[in-house]
Amino acid sequence: MKASICKVCGYVAIDGVVPEVCPVCHAPKTAFVDKTDMKTAQDIAVKGESEKKHIPFFLVVKECGLIPHAGCTDVHVKIGEITHPMTVEHSIVSIDLYIDKKWVARSSFTPDKINAATVLHIKVPSGTVTAVAHCNLHGWWLNETAF
Ligand SMILES: [Fe+2]
């Protein structure tokens, strides 16, 4: 997978195209470098404990409970089928979310009171959601699902 990462904020351009400015922190194109160590669920054949703690896990809910009758689909994302630690020493810093490879949102986390999970309320009828989790010890992990 060809990807680039913003050295300022850690945003990953998963389509391999470096943007003119970072959509998260607005750093210029020159802030991006090639990212060759992205761990993607699709490339991992056998999942050990580390993979089970880091690969984003999805729950798609077609009937939104918060914004009903608007065609809203909820895509819940949690990090790891085994819950990832959330301590100062080891935590998920952020989850970046993309629809059809285009970045749409970032959830940032402090480790002390919350779990590494977030939700998107999507108003388009179908597509692919990609989640990129950033662990402060173990790097960036990508997974995607259709909705
Ligand atoms: Fe980790």
pLDDT in tens, 75-131: 999 999 999 999 999 999 999 999 999 999 999 999 989 999 999 999 999 999 999
Q: How far is the CA of 136 from the centre of ligand 1 (A)?
A: 7
> Residue 42 — φ and ψ, nearest 5°?
-70, -20
Q: How far is the CA of 9 from the centre of ligand 1 (A)?
A: 18
Is the domain of 80 the same as that of 27? no
Residue in 39, 41, 66, 51 with CA at minimum distance from that of residue 120 = 66
Is the domain of 135 the same as that of 118? yes
Q: How far is the CA of 91 from the centre of ligand 1 (A)?
A: 6
Q: How far is the CA of 133 from the centre of ligand 1 (A)?
A: 10
Token output for 121: 């309320």
CATH code: domain of residue 88: 2.60.40.730
The Cα–Cα gap between 76 and 119 comes to 4
Residue in 28, 9, 10, 142 with CA at minimum distance from that of residue 19 = 28
Range of the domain at 135: 38-146
Kindly tell me the number of DSSP H helices and DSSP E strands found in the chain.
1, 11
The average pLDDT across 60-74 equals 92
Is the domain of 21 the same as that of 55? no
Q: How far is the CA of 30 from the centre of ligand 1 (A)?
A: 29
